């Protein structure tokens, strides 16, 4: 029988090394050996994704590499998911995420979603070109505690402010943290529209939300 630690290490390596087509078989061997699914997810797949994120931060990995790493992570998760106990996946709060109305560029949003999911947030992805009202509705329906807004288009920036205003009008602004990101934005702009924070990269977005939600050690 295969060694548990070795399999976990291999899952992690598969994710980092862009081996998205090998990861499912290894995850299956792991499950067939009767080991705990959570450990493979957290210490294998998520660990690999975190290492990929580190390489991204260091300028070794770029968008194509991260997309393939995340494919690998999800391919592994598909095998593990039926064996996870309830609560294994969501270790942190629910986050509504989307690209604001007027913009269809979603690479940045997808990267943030991937990193947040790997970090234990439950993501509710509204997609791209999302009207402000829809963010508010999703927060209410899902009991989300955070909202992530993204745009690459400067023309859509003001729609982020509209989301914050609507949350205020609905009286739920205090119940959610709003974080923003995207090419044309700056920390100053985030403050101006009343967001709780801005991050420059997908990895920083996780750190930012961990800080805001009090998950940071």
- CB nearer to another protein: pick between 58 and 174: 58
Choose one: 40-48, 73-81, 93-101, 177-185; the region binding another protein (CB under 8 A). Answer: 177-185
Provide the 10 A C-beta neighbour count for residue 188: 8
**Minimum distance, C-beta of residue 158 to another protein, in the bound complex (Å):** 8
Instruction: Out of 31, 67, 84, 123, name the contact with another protein by CB under 8 A.
Output: 67
8 lies in the site for another protein, by CB under 8 A: no
Q: Which of 216, 195, 215 is nearest to 93 (CA)?
A: 215
Closest to another protein by CB, 91 vs 192, is 192
Of 153, 172, 212, 213, which lies in the binding site for another protein, with binding defined by CB under 8 A?
A: 153
* Interface positions, 89-118, toward another protein (CB under 8 A): 104, 107, 110
| Residue 72 near another protein by CB under 8 A | no
Q: How many residues bind to another protein according to rule CB under 8 A?
A: 26
Pick the binder of another protein from 22, 36, 65, 88 (CB under 8 A).
Answer: 65
Within a 13 Å sphere around the CA of 216, how many CA atoms are in the beta-carbon half? 10
Q: Which residues contact 97 (CB under 8 A, 6 or more apart)?
A: 109, 112, 113, 116, 123, 124, 125, 126, 147, 148, 149, 150
CA quadruple 115, 217, 122, 179: dihedral positive or negative? negative
Among the listed ranges 46-54, 89-97, 171-179, 181-189, the one in contact with another protein (CB under 8 A) is 181-189
Q: Is 24 in the site for another protein (CB under 8 A)?
A: no
Instruction: List CB contacts of 66: < 8 A, sequence separation 6 or more.
Output: 52, 53, 56, 111, 114, 202
- How does 25-35 read in b/e, with b if 16+ C-beta sit within 10 Å? ebbebbbeeeb
Closest distance of CB 136 from another protein, Å: 23
d(CA 151, CA 161): 12
d(CA 109, CA 107): 6
212 binds another protein (CB under 8 A): no
17 vs 145 by CB, closer to another protein: 17
Q: Is 30 in the site for another protein (CB under 8 A)?
A: no
Of the candidates 41, 189, 206, 209, which one interacts with another protein according to CB under 8 A? 189
For binding to another protein (CB under 8 A), which residues are involved? 18, 59-65, 67-68, 71, 104, 107, 110, 153-155, 157-158, 183-186, 188-189, 192
């Amino acid at each position: 029988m295969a060694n548990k630690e070795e399999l976990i290490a291999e899952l992690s390596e598969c994710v980092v090394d862009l081996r998205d087509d090998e990861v499912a078989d290894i995850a299956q061997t792991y499950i067939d050996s009767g080991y705990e699914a959570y450990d493979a997810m957290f210490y294998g797949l998520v660990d690999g994704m975190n290492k990929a994120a580190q390489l991204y931060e260091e300028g070794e990995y770029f968008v194509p590499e991260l997309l393939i790493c995340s494919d690998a992570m999800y391919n592994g998760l598909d095998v593990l998911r039926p064996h996870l106990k309830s609560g294994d996946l969501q270790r942190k709060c629910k986050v509504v995420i989307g690209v604001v109305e007027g913009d269809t560029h979603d690479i940045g949003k997808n990267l943030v979603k991937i990193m947040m999911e790997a970090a234990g947030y439950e993501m509710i992805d509204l997609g791209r070109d999302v009207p402000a009202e829809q963010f508010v509705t999703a927060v209410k329906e899902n009991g989300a505690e955070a909202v992530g807004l993204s745009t690459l288009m400067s023309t859509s920036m003001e729609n982020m402010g509209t989301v914050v205003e609507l949350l205020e009008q609905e009286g739920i602004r205090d119940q959610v943290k709003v974080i923003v990101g995207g090419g044309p934005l700056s920390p100053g702009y985030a403050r101006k529209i009343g967001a709780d924070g801005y991050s420059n990269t997908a990895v920083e977005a996780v750190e930012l939300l961990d800080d805001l939600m009090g998950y940071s050690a």
